[in-house]
Amino acid sequence: MPIVQNIAFGYDTLAEWHDVAIGKRTGHIYSRNTNPTVALFEEKMRQLEGAEAAISFSSGMAAISNTLLELVQPGEQIVSITETYGGTNRLISEFLPRNHVRTRLARPEDQTGLETLIADGTPLVYLESPTNPTMQVVDIQRVCEAAKQAGAIVVVDNTIATPINQNPLSLGADLVIHSASKFIGGHGDAMGGVLCGRRDLVKRVFRYREIHGAALDPFAAFLLVRGLKTLAIRMERHNDNALRVAQFLDAHPAIERVFYPALPSHPGHAIASRQMRGSSGMLSFVLKEGGATVADVLQRLRLARRAASLGHVETFAGIPSTTSHVECSMEQRKAMGIPELLIRYSVGIEDSSDLLADLENALTL
């Protein structure tokens, strides 16, 4: 697929141009609206999520903000969970209220709390599962059933799981969102976001994006399409490596607690086993007090990059206060159940024995 980098598309005749403009024939006019390379990325994501339609954005946050700003109107209330991605949390706690949208939040594992809020009336339920960084799991199917009864649509951020491990639309969700900057691209060199799902809803958000302008760049689309070619085998390796790392840390004397859904000790283990095919490449762990500090461990890791992202072929380690939840205060992180001694570890596709040796060395003073 060529990288069609041009902004405008020319027509020999005015009649042809006009037909494309009014949607009577297919074609492209201006790359803020549609572009062939970008359209290929959208089509591949549509198929991976089994959706009717898909549109892309310049970043994951652009996908989330455009979707929520179009689908929730002033005076309405949105239901979500306390433990969303830091940027999403700020959007729904700070920017949506400016638009007179009220935010109602329940803990991700609090099914009854979520159902009560949904029954109270909302056009939209916004979920993330597993969550970042403690990998809490929401029972997507049960929330979707409650939402359907109440006439609400359900949007799921599927960034951490990827379509290889989980398809929220098949569990009853109406829309699924990805930050393509993470596992989808996989190499940390292209930003993007995507929304997949019901055609009528995707169309509305497309119109919003056309005018608000958060379009995906064609070169980024090309890199994301290239990333997709290896998504399945990368996820296989991410799943496998993360499970090994989680089991190693779980048995390690310096570790207080490991958050990874494939571990039977994880509170979301049973739900994850039902709705996910693999547990993905993200985990977090809490150090025991009195041993190595978070700063010691992060400093001593050699294979893990100290950087704020996840889902890349390289292993990344960080703490929520400098990565996913840098936008939140210490009190907000505490309220979200994120311990301050927690290390977030995004497991890459390196040889797992190298990663285990690196962790052993970093944890042993």
Ligand X SMILES: *Cc1c(COP(=O)(O)O)cnc(C)c1O
**Residues carrying an active site annotation:** 32, 85, 157, 182
Least distance to ligand X from the beta carbon of 102, Å?
22
Q: Which residue is nearest to ligand X (CB)?
A: 60
Query: How far is Cα 224 from Cα 39, in angstroms, rounded to an integer?
Result: 12
Least distance to ligand X from the beta carbon of 111, Å?
21
Two tokens, residue 313: 């072929």
Q: Which is nearer to ligand X, 126 or 285 (CB)?
A: 126
Least distance to ligand X from the beta carbon of 174, Å?
18
Binding site residues, ligand X, CB under 6 A: 59-61, 85, 87-88, 128, 132, 157, 159-160, 179, 181-182, 191, 193, 310
Q: Which is nearer to ligand X, 85 or 260 (CB)?
A: 85
Query: How far is Cα 166 from Cα 161, in angstroms, rounded to an integer?
Result: 6
Going by C-beta distance under 8 Å and a sequence separation of 6 or more, which residues neighbour residue 5?
218, 219
Q: Which is nearer to ligand X, 135 or 255 (CB)?
A: 135
C-beta separation of 55 from 206 below 8 A: yes
Query: How far is Cα 205 from Cα 57, in angstroms, rounded to an integer?
Result: 11
Which residue, among 21, 356, 66, has the nearest Cα to 201 in the 3D structure?
66
DSSP characters over 217-278: PHHHHHHHHHHHHTHHHHHHHHHHHHHHHHHHHHT-TTEEEEE-TTSTTSTTHHHHHHH-SS
Residue with tokens 């958050």: 259
Coil/strand/helix, residue 306: strand
Beta-carbon-side half-sphere exposure of residue 6 (alpha carbons within 13 Å): 6
Helix pair angle (111-119, 140-150), 10° resolution: 20
Residue ranges of E strands in the chain: 53-57, 77-81, 102-106, 124-128, 153-157, 175-179, 193-197, 255-259, 282-287, 305-306, 316-318, 342-346
DSSP characters over 89-132: HHIIIIIHHHTTPEEEEE-TT-HHHHHHHHHT--SEEEEESS-T
Least distance to ligand X from the beta carbon of 151, Å?
26
Coil/strand/helix, residue 70: helix
Q: Which is nearer to ligand X, 35 or 158 (CB)?
A: 158
Least distance to ligand X from the beta carbon of 157, Å?
5
Which residue, among 135, 132, 207, 124, has the nearest Cα to 173 in the 3D structure?
124
Q: Which is nearer to ligand X, 161 or 258 (CB)?
A: 161
Least distance to ligand X from the beta carbon of 93, Å?
15
Least distance to ligand X from the beta carbon of 254, Å?
27
Q: Which is nearer to ligand X, 35 or 179 (CB)?
A: 179
Strands 124-128 and 77-81: parallel
Q: Which is nearer to ligand X, 87 or 168 (CB)?
A: 87
